Amino acid sequence: MQNISIVKRPDYAVESVDNALQLILLLQEREWLRIAEAAKALGVAPSTAHRLMATLVYRGFALQDDRRRYCAGPMLRSDAAENPTRAVVALARPHVEALARSVRETVNLVERVGITARFLYSAEGPQLLRIGNRTGSVLPAHASAAGKAALSTLPAAGVSQLYAGRSIRQAGHRMAAAELKALQEELAETRTRGYALNLGRTEADIAAVGAPLGGTGRTATLALSISAPLSRAGDIQQPRVIEALHTACAAIRHDLDAAGPVPSA
């Protein structure tokens, strides 16, 4: 007769680890999960649930959409090796790392998903004072350099629909008319200038420039950004740096096009 081992909760279980594992199970069981629901299920404060979820997002176990809902991330897929996001990162990584070495600043591969900008991969620059790895971070697309770069590929009507359309109004994230007008003007300037700029908007001491990959399909939602301490904001706007940024974008787009249509995540 086969022995049956009954697994019990260990006396030494670390509460935060146990909560994180329970959260992973919830993400696997449900299509979408909000912080309030996670907090209730775990019996913790919403702030605690948010910190746990932020860590899971950072490590690829969760993803956040533009309605502040969470779903299972690429690391929870049954076959992570076939995850389309990993395929995109694998193709882009050599170019991202080469650009980071060339400009000596941190470079980020970012995807715009709705009104959010998700950092898929970061390569840190070699300087002692540098911007850290942002992989897994989620920022408002209209505030981040890469997010604005990706938004600049949309026509003005598309931007208006994104930020003032019916679906966004129902989600409670509608942008005020004055703010939308300012964003449209900034995106028009981005198209003319050839890159988006963020000077301390998302974080007080960080500057960034961003450019879109362009193309069609999912590739059109991707962008690269170069991040640096605010004190070096002028350096990352030098023509040679912007040229290197555009060259890297074109190289990644070429490799993605050569690999065939990139499926959605």
Listed in order, the ranges of the chain carrying CATH 1.10.10.10 are 15-76
Is the domain covering 83-258 a CATH 3.90.850.10 domain? no
In 3D space, the residue among 217, 185, 175 whose CA is nearest the CA of residue 84 turns out to be 217
Q: Note the pLDDT of residue 144.
A: 94
**DSSP helix/strand/coil, 124:** coil
Distance CA 97, CA 122 (A): 8
Domain with CATH 3.30.450.40 in the chain: 83-258
> How far apart are alpha carbons 229 and 237 in whole angstroms?
13
Q: What would the pLDDT profile of 144-202 be if each residue is shown by its tens digit?
A: 999 999 999 999 999 998 888 776 665 556 788 899 999 999 999 999 999 999 999 88
Q: Which range, of 13-17, 40-44, 75-79, 108-112, averages the lowest pLDDT?
A: 75-79
- Per-residue pLDDT of 205-225, as tens digits, reads 999 999 999 988 888 899 999
Mean per-residue pLDDT, 63-75: 76
Q: Among 151, 136, 158, which Cα is nearest to 214's?
A: 151
- Side chain identity, residue 200: G
pTM score, whole prediction: 0.73
Matching CATH number, 15-76, of 3.10.450.630, 1.10.10.10, 3.20.20.70, 3.40.640.10:
1.10.10.10
> Which H or E run contains 216?
none
